[in-house]
Amino acid sequence: MYAIVKIGGHQYKVAQDQTVFVNRLSTEDEKITLEEVLLVKDGEGNVKIGTPTVEGAKVEASVVDHPKADKVIIFKKKRRKGYRVKRGHRQPITQLKIENIS
């Protein structure tokens, strides 16, 4: 059983007991309910596609941590000009554990 949910403008394919890294959510709660479920497929192969969301479907998840993503290096250079800039960026993310799909 899996579902496709919309979290923060992005779509994620999630299954039960899966860990998902999403953009930082501004929530202090330990448990969240995701209401924007776009598709649900159960164990028998039945697929429910929403228009735009599936009625009555929800995904329950728990917030595990608020880490930072891996560092992305930004390097700019202009040849023969002596111009070199090196910067790094670490995107703040949220780690979610999918508890239940209903």
- Encode pLDDT of 74-87 as tens digits: 999 999 999 999 99
Tokens 């403008």 correspond to what residue? Answer: 9
- Count the Cβ atoms, other than its own, within 10 Å of residue 77: 10
Q: Model-level pTM?
A: 0.85
Q: Which pLDDT tens digit goes with each residue over 36-51?
A: 999 999 989 899 999 9
User: Residue 97 in contact with residue 64, Cβ under 8 Å?
Assistant: yes
Band (pLDDT 50/70/90 cuts) for residue 73 is very high
